[in-house]
Amino acid sequence: MKRRTSLVAILGAAAMALAPVPGLAQDGPIRIGEINHFKRMAAFAEPYRKGLALAVEQINEGGGVLGRPLEVIYRDDQAEPGEAIRIAEELMTREGTVMLTGAILSNVGLALSSLAANRGYVYLASEPLADALVWEKGNDWTFRLRTSTYMQAAMLAEEAAKTDAVRYATIAPNYAYGKDAVAAFKETLTALKPEVEFVAEQWPPLFNIDAAAEVQALERAKPDAIYNVTFAGDLGKFMREGNMRGLFEGREVFGLLSGEPEYLDPVGAEASEGWVVTGFPWYDFDEGPKGDFVRAYEARWNDYPRNGSIVGYNTGLSIAAAIERAGSTEPEALREAFIGLTLDTPVGEITYREIDHQSTMGAFVGTTALRDGKGVMVDWEYRDGADYLPADDVVRKLRPEG
């Protein structure tokens, strides 16, 4: 049975908190192990860290959880799966953490997920996007917060199906996330518009794109539309080279993550216009919970939020809600509490689905444009993630039993 936990209840005054368990309030803080790529991917991990820290501060100011403050133990894994596993073992055995969270890169998230299953220890995969985390390699102990690759690809495919484009070319980094992103876009677009064909696929190495060669290869294929999955520095290089060579002129372009400030801001005035993208248009959030989040983040950090910021913030809210629901920090109680957990967040209500442990957190879809010398998203709208997941019978075939 689902239990809905509101944002007010999570952050609220002590008068609304659950009564402390006898003897538990004197046990010190509830420690959470956070493993991430803080040095190797600082531009992306730091906004996440700040969002998580803000949520934890607000929760503790409201009385903590179960009468105890939350404490996050941050560790840097150098973006290496082996190092992440070593750190996770240390956090579980020596640091007294009650669960793990974190990771951006999917290969690291998959390694932590496997460890969680083997050790019977909850892992909240906050940012990794690979679909395998909740489907082919899903397990009882792993839950994923961020809007998945499949969900975001399906949102873009929905927009692509509305156009006249038939011939598509794709470009994506050559690792798990990129492969999943292209497969999901092909599957969902073909279902919506069977006549489409994919005439070229480019697979540049992650963070080492030869943009000139990739642009030339895509141009030779003469597609009607391009589906882009590159991000970080690769995205900037691809945009600049494509703009210079006219690759995007007269073509529809759909970009997964391409509207996120982490990736769009560094490109500055060279950002491509007219792409349909997923992203985080924080600059237009003036009212309601989204506006409250932006103002609180700016006041705390003297900086504007990125997409990672809201993911980090919702990670903190999710952890507090699960512990509150469990009434305990025991691994099995926490695992059961995450199943079907529903809570309010600045972007709306989300639920951790029972069938695959994927949250229904959605994404913003809009079009790139230039404003004040940098790229932004315009004409955007928030898409509920629950509307962009495959049917339950499909998920059951994808996900291993147990």
Beta bridge partners of 252: 225
pLDDT computed for residue 26 by the predictor: 45
pLDDT class for 176, splitting at 50, 70, 90? confident
Farthest CA pair distance, the chain: 70
Amino acid occupying residue 7: L
Average pLDDT over the chain, rounded to an integer: 93
Residues whose CB falls within 8 Å of the CB of residue 220, separated by 6 or more in sequence, listed in order = 200
Per CATH, 4-148+285-362 and 150-281+364-398 having the same topology is answered yes
Beta strand residue intervals within 188-300, DSSP E: 197-202, 225-228, 252-259, 276-279
Tokens of 376: 């932004």
What is the 8-class DSSP label of residue 72?
A: E
Question: What residues contact residue 138 under an 8 Å CB cut-off, 6+ apart?
Answer: 113, 132, 356, 357, 399, 400
pLDDT tens readout for residues 64-95: 999 999 999 999 999 999 999 999 999 999 99
Closest of 153, 152, 133 to residue 143, by C-alpha: 133
- Output phi, psi for 340, to 5 deg: 75, 10
Give the HSE-up count for residue 139: Cα atoms under 13 Å, Cβ half-sphere. 20
| b/e code 84-99 from CB counts within 10 Å (16+ = b) | bbebbeebbeeebbbb
Q: Which two tokens stand for residue 189?
A: 């677009």
pLDDT, mean of residues 278-282? 98
pLDDT class for 395, splitting at 50, 70, 90? very high
Q: What is the pLDDT of residues 289-321, one digit of tens each?
A: 999 999 999 999 999 999 999 999 999 999 999
The mean pLDDT of 378-382, rounded to a whole number, is: 98
The domain segmentation of the chain, as residue ranges, is 4-148+285-362, 150-281+364-398
Say which CATH superfamily domain 4-148+285-362 falls into: Response regulator (3.40.50.2300)
> Would you report the helix, strand and coil content of the chain in percent, each value rounded to 5?
45, 20, 35
Q: What local confidence, expressed as pLDDT, does residue 43 receive?
A: 86
Give the count of alpha carbons within 13 A of 262, CB side only: 24
Q: Give yes or no for residue 9 having a pLDDT over 60.
A: no
Asked whether residue 27 carries a pLDDT value surpassing 90, the answer given is no
pTM: 0.91
Please tell me the predicted confidence (pLDDT) of residue 144. 98
| Residue 18 pLDDT | 35
* 307 closest CA partner among 37, 45, 117: 45
What is the per-residue pLDDT for 75?
Answer: 98
Task: Fold for 150-281+364-398, please state it.
Answer: Rossmann fold (3.40.50)
Q: Mean pLDDT throughout 150-176?
A: 97
- Predicted confidence at residue 6, as pLDDT, reads 53
Whole-number pLDDT of residue 400: 84
Residue found under tokens 């007010």? 8
pLDDT score, position 2: 44
Q: How far apart are CA 75 and CA 365, in angstroms?
A: 33
What is the band of 149 on the pLDDT scale with cuts at 50, 70, 90?
very high
What is the average per-residue pLDDT within 221-237?
Answer: 96
Cβ atoms 109, 100 nearer than 8 A: no
pLDDT, residue 19, reads: 37
pLDDT of 7 higher than 80: no
3-class state of residue 198 by DSSP: strand
User: What pLDDT score does 175 carry?
Assistant: 86
Q: How many CA atoms within 13 Å lie on the side-chain side of 7?
A: 17
